[in-house]
Amino acid sequence: MKNYLSSSQMTLRMFAADLLVLSSILSAAWCLSVLNVSVPKTLNSTSGSCLLIPCLFNISKEKQNILDSSPEVTWRRGSLWSLYDTDGFTIAHRQKEPVMEVVGDLRKKNCTSVMRNLTSLHSDRYYFRIQAVNFSVTGTTAVHINVSESVAEPNVTVPVLREGEEVNLTCTVPAPCPSHPPNVTWAPALGGEVTQRTHLNADGTQSVSAILNFVPSVHHHELKVNCVSVLPLHREDRPLLSHKVVILNVEYPPKETWISLTGLVWLGDNVTLTCQSKANPPAVHRWFMKRAGVEEELSISRVLSFTAAHENTGEYICEAQNLYGAMNSTNLQITVLGQSVLETIEFLHCYTSVFLNHFGTSLESEHFFRKFRSLNN
């Protein structure tokens, strides 16, 4: 008998649970057929600020006349769902709810609302509710609201920057509280003009953008520019700041192209010529040599190396080129100094012959120079 009763109790409990699930499903289906609410899935705001909740709804034709009787509208917290309409819902629970104001026109099925004096304790899921005499219904679609103590980093859009071409740098931040929007700006302004605009987003929320219009130059390349947002708050401490730094990447044709070479060039030296240029994107370098009025292309490289010979004497030119233009270096004249060993011996023999002819001969000297010359032939 005891086991039988235990089994019966278990069956009843299972039946009650199934009935509760079925009741919830039917209740949700009924609510959905009566009230359909459209809200963003997630909204973010900051402690001490307010929050605009874009909200639209549809109500069944049988209940639309309720909208003309100024019904009571509220938002219910998901965390307190099981306590509403029970004795367990106390004043302490009521104090946990944010100050809420419906600013939309209910007759036009606009339930847009504003939450004020937010704190991090107000983070929750919220459901829109309409209540009138002998009628109440709560929407089944929730908006998840996050309230933090800080503000998000601005979103910065930087297009391709080319020297001399006018562009816009755009910095955008959310404006969850339209009555107290953030102030957004750029620093430095780069000699341009900063314009601030408010945008209505697709989900009904708002954002504020600061647009910096300027003409990039080579002097702006790798310059740090800061987007700063200042958010006013309904509290005694200072406004909250957020910022984002971007490093500009300006594309420009080659500038200041030159050839670097250290010291004199002697016959047999290992010579290295380096082409230097400022360009973005980096330039491709070509080497040319001009001799006797004829110009010859030597190689495509930043560095040109060779072992000095007399045929290397001439004018050297480096050309730097990228997508935006080209620039030549000034001509570098290289004269290879010195003589070969054979040329030196010939010079000494000639000089000695002149010396001997002028001052007399010597068998020992003649024998020496003949032997020295035979060794180098």
Angle formed at CA 149 by CA 148 and CA 153, multiple of 5 degrees: 80
pLDDT, tens only, 198-248 = 999 988 899 999 999 999 999 999 999 999 999 887 666 677 888 999 999
CATH class of 252-334: mainly beta
Q: Measuring CA to CA, how many Å separate 202 from each of 54, 205, 207? A: 10, 7, 11
Strands 206-214, 193-200: parallel, antiparallel or unpaired by DSSP? antiparallel
pLDDT, tens only, 275-292 = 999 999 999 999 999 988
- Contact in structure between 172 and 196 (CB atoms under 8 Å): no
pLDDT of residue 169: 95
- All residues at 6 or more sequence positions from 71 whose CB lies less than 8 Å from its CB, including other chains: 106, 130, 131, 132, 135
- The phi, psi pair for 5, rounded to 5°, reads -65, -40
pLDDT of residue 54: 95
Cα–Cα distance for residue pair 76/32, rounded to 1 Å: 16
Nearest to 151 by CA among 180, 129, 191, 192: 180
pLDDT of residue 20: 39
Cα–Cα distance for residue pair 154/363, rounded to 1 Å: 97
Q: Among the CATH numbers 3.40.50.300, 2.60.40.10, 1.25.60.10, 3.90.420.10, which is that of 30-148?
A: 2.60.40.10
Q: What is the mean pLDDT of each run of 10 residues along the chain (377 residues)?
A: 48 44 41 79 91 92 82 84 67 77 90 91 91 86 91 92 94 91 91 92 92 94 93 72 93 89 80 91 93 89 90 91 92 81 48 50 51 49
- All residues at 6 or more sequence positions from 151 whose CB lies less than 8 Å from its CB, including other chains: 46, 173, 182, 229, 231, 240, 241, 242
pLDDT of residue 263: 62
User: CA quadruple 15, 21, 23, 25: dihedral positive or negative?
Assistant: negative
Cα–Cα distance for residue pair 193/210, rounded to 1 Å: 10
Query: In terms of CATH, what superfamily is 156-248?
Result: Immunoglobulins (2.60.40.10)
H-type helices in 59-189, by residue range?
A: 91-95
Cα–Cα distance for residue pair 88/73, rounded to 1 Å: 21
Cα–Cα distance for residue pair 184/241, rounded to 1 Å: 10
pLDDT of residue 376: 46
Give the pair of three-digit tokens for residue 2.
């005891």
Give the pair of three-digit tokens for residue 196.
């601030």
pLDDT, tens only, 89-117 = 667 777 777 888 999 998 899 999 999 88
pTM of the model: 0.69
Cα–Cα distance for residue pair 162/144, rounded to 1 Å: 43
pLDDT of residue 367: 52
pLDDT of residue 302: 92
Give the pair of three-digit tokens for residue 326.
């080209």
